[in-house]
Amino acid sequence: MIKAIRGTRDLLPPETALWNFVEAAARDVFRAYNFQEIRTPIFEETQLFARSVGEETDIVSKEMYTWENRGRAQSEKGQSLTLRPENTAGVVRAYIEHKLWDRGLNKLYYIGPQFRRERPQKGRYRQFYQIGAEAIGPPSAGSESPARDAEMLEMLATFLDRLGITGWNLELNSVGCPNDRARCNEALRKALEPVVSKMCADCQRRAVTNPLRVFDCKVPEDQPIIEKLPRISQFLDEPCRTHFAEVQEILQAVGVPFRLNDRLVRGLDYYTRTAFEFTHGALGAQNAILGGGRYDGLSESLGGPQAPGIGFAIGEDRLVMSLKESAEAVARKPEVYIAPLGADMNREAARLARELRRHDLVVELGDESFRMKKSLETASKLGARYALIVGENEVKADAFGLKNLETGEQIPVPHHELAAKIQAGR
């Protein structure tokens, strides 16, 4: 038997109703903040991710699905392509390619699959799904403002509240500008030199290529060493300190709680200044629901104009996992099960179903070959609120038996009153 590939899975009802609920809530909230949808290809040139995410990151060095293009055009031969491991780079590429700076500040969101070849575990898959947003544009459009950072964080708090997620925590840090990180990395190399041999293989590699990434380490034995290392907060220049302070002041003003975490550096090289994560205890050790940050130099690194930006990505798989107990409640069950009884009643039942569905009612159709007992058992199994009896006598009278499956009460309802009667029972 052929099965789904390791690290992938099928999403099935009723869980898919929960996914639709989450995505609909995201679209509603983002719309209120004037974000508009962008859809980019699921594969790009490999160089896009190498230049933006960073060649020394685990994502680029270990986790990407990459292959050589076998296209027919000469320009495609030898071209390296990669399934997108994240979406910010693709959005910025689109920003540059389509000269979106002419529109001023671009507030864009996306929903879709990403791909990373990593060890599958709870809430982490090789094909996973993200909901993300980016606010990017020329400095003249206010894209550098700490108000943009605070607005995005407040929007995310609103979204989580809309979903009914309680107990979330917002962790906040500033990773400064490139000069700040250069000074911090130099101090980290000196601090790591006498102890790095006692650390895991990844930390030993990061200590050489990008010491700041050592803070991403989750190996318990390395934590006492990491706790004693210098922090990026010690190396922030005055503009970065001021920016970070203003973000905090706005969040306090709008009532969004947060806590500072000077170990938070995020896993991608393009981040500058504000970095953040929302976490939730229901997810265990891998407790981050979403994360993001500012990336003021990313456009220039990809050959574009100066375009400060800030964005985030929500791990939709993990977010849905934190809502798992709500799946049954969110799934919209049939409001009425139509039970055709007798020959030629399928046609009459189909006409009624079409009418009722036009009133936004969820309708399930039985079959005229079913006896009454089987129809009622099927309706109950589906979780329908009502069973609608359609027989020859009901069609002649143009009034139909409507049975409440919770109370057992059955009453005749005139044809023209059916939709209103069923809606009243919601």
Helices (H), 62-199: 88-97, 146-162, 178-192
Walking along the chain (426 residues) 10 residues at a time, the average pLDDT comes out as 93 89 95 97 93 73 86 77 94 97 96 91 87 96 95 96 89 92 88 88 86 84 88 92 96 96 77 91 66 92 94 91 66 89 93 95 94 94 94 94 94 95 87
Task: Please count the CA atoms within 13 angstroms of the CA of 126 that sit on its side-chain side.
Answer: 15
Reported as a single tens digit per residue, the pLDDT across 306-328 is: 999 999 999 899 888 878 765 55
Are 64 and 85 a contacting pair, CB within 8 Å? yes
Q: On the CB side of 12, how many CA atoms lie within 13 Å of its CA? A: 3
Please tell me the distance from the alpha carbon of residue 330 to that of residue 322, in angstroms, as a whole number: 14
Fold agreement (15-177+237-326, 333-424): no
**Measuring CA to CA, how many Å separate 218 from each of 117, 128, 214, 215?**
19, 21, 9, 8
Tell me the two tokens of residue 144: 């550098």
Partners of 136 in the β-ladder:
106, 309
What separation in angstroms does the CA of 94 have from each of 89, 110, 134, 237, 312? Answer: 9, 13, 12, 32, 17
3-class secondary-structure state, position 365 = strand
Per-residue pLDDT of 329-340, as tens digits, reads 566 789 999 999
Residue corresponding to tokens 């809606």? 423
Decide: residue 84, CB within 10 A, 0-12 exposed, 13-18 middle, 19+ buried: buried
Q: What pLDDT shows up at residue 246?
A: 97
Decide if 310 contacts 272 (C-beta within 8 A): no
Q: Residue 237 and residue 201: Cα distance in Å, rounded? A: 32
Distance, in Å, from the CA atom of 53 to the CA atom of 241, rounded to the nearest integer, reads 25
Q: What is the pLDDT of residue 326?
A: 59
The 8-class DSSP code of residue 75 comes to G
Handedness of CA 317, 55, 214, 245 (dihedral sign): negative
Q: What is the pLDDT of residue 211?
A: 85
With left for phi above 0 and alpha for psi between -120 and 50, is residue 131 left, alpha or beta? beta
Q: Which residues contact 344 (CB under 8 A, 6 or more apart)?
A: 368
Bond before 14 cis per omega within 30 degrees = yes
**What is the H or E stretch that residue 346 is in?**
helix 345-357
SS3 for 311-335, per residue? Answer: EEEEEHHHHHHHCHHHHHHHCCCCC
The CATH code of the domain at 15-177+237-326 is 3.30.930.10
Smallest Cα–Cα separation from 81: which of 42, 107, 51?
Answer: 42
pLDDT of residue 83: 95
Q: How many degrees, rounded to 5, is the angle at CA 133 between CA 128 and CA 137?
A: 140
Q: Is the pTM of this model over 0.85?
A: no
Answer whether 29's CB lies under 8 Å from 162's CB.
yes
For 333-424, CATH gives 3.40.50.800
**The dihedral sign for the CA sequence 100, 106, 109, 113:** positive
Each residue of 10-24: pLDDT tens digit? 999 888 989 999 999
Q: Where are the alpha helices (DSSP H) in 193-336?
A: 201-209, 223-227, 238-254, 298-301, 316-322, 327-330
Identify the H or E element spanning 20: helix 15-32
Contact by Cβ (8 Å): 352, 169: no
Closest CA to 318 of 53, 112, 121: 121
Domain ranges of the chain: 15-177+237-326, 333-424
CB within 8 A of 24, min separation 6: which ones? Answer: none
User: Given this model, what pLDDT does residue 357 score?
Assistant: 95
How confident is the model over 245-299, as pLDDT tens digits?
999 999 999 999 999 998 888 756 678 999 999 988 755 545 778 999 999 989 9
